[in-house]
Structure 1
Amino acid sequence: MDNLPRLALSVRQPWAWAIIHGGKVIENRSMGAIRAGRMTTGTICIHAASGMKEDEYRWAHWRLAKHGVTCPRPEDLVRSAIIGTVKVTEIITASDSEWFGGAAGLVLADPRPVGPVPASGQLGYFKWQPGGTIAPPKPWMKRFDINRGDTRTLPLFPDAEPSYKTPPAKPVRKG
Structure 2
Amino acid sequence: MKAISVRQPWAWGIIYSTKDIENRGWPINYRGDILIHAAKKCTKKEYEIASIFCQSLGVSIPELKSLRRGQVIGVVTIVDCQFSQIASGWGIPGQYHWHLKNPREITPIPYIGQLGIFEVPDDLVRRTTAV
TM-score normalized with structure 1 length: 0.65
Q: CA RMSD in A?
A: 1.5
Q: 2:112 aligns with which of 104, 116, 120?
A: 120
Q: Distance in 2 between matches of 1:97 and 1:103?
A: 12
Deviation at 1:78, TM superposition (A): 0.2
8 Å CA contact retained: 1:13, 1:77: yes
Unaligned stretches of 5+ in structure 2?
125-131
Considering Cα pairs closer than 8 Å and 6+ residues apart, tell me whether 1 or 2 has the greater RCO. Answer: 2
The alpha carbon displacement at 1:18 in A equals 0.4
After the TM superposition, which residues 1-175 of structure 1 pair with which residues of structure 2 at under 5 Å, given as runs? Answer: 6-31=1-26, 34=27, 40-94=30-84, 97-101=88-92, 102-129=94-121, 130=124
Residue type at the aligned position of 1:124: G
Normalized against structure 2, the TM-score is what?
A: 0.85
Q: Residues of 2 paired with 1:65 and 1:25: CA distance?
A: 16
- Identical counterparts, % of pairs: 38
How big is the shift at 1:120? 0.8
Cα deviations across residues 110-138 of structure 1 (Å, max 9, x unaligned)?
A: 001111111111111100245xxxxxxxx
Q: CA deviation at 1:97?
A: 2.8
Q: Which amino acid aligns with 1:15?
A: W
Partner of 2:128: none
Which structure would you say has the larger Rg? Answer: 1
Q: Name the one with the larger strand percent.
A: 2
Query: Which deviations, in whole Å up to 9, do the C-alpha atoms of 1:83-130 show, x marking residues without a partner?
Result: 000000001112663111042121000001111111111111100245
CA contact (8 A) 1:39 1:124 kept: no
How many angstroms apart in 2 are the aligned matches of 1:60 and 1:111? 20
Aligned length: 120
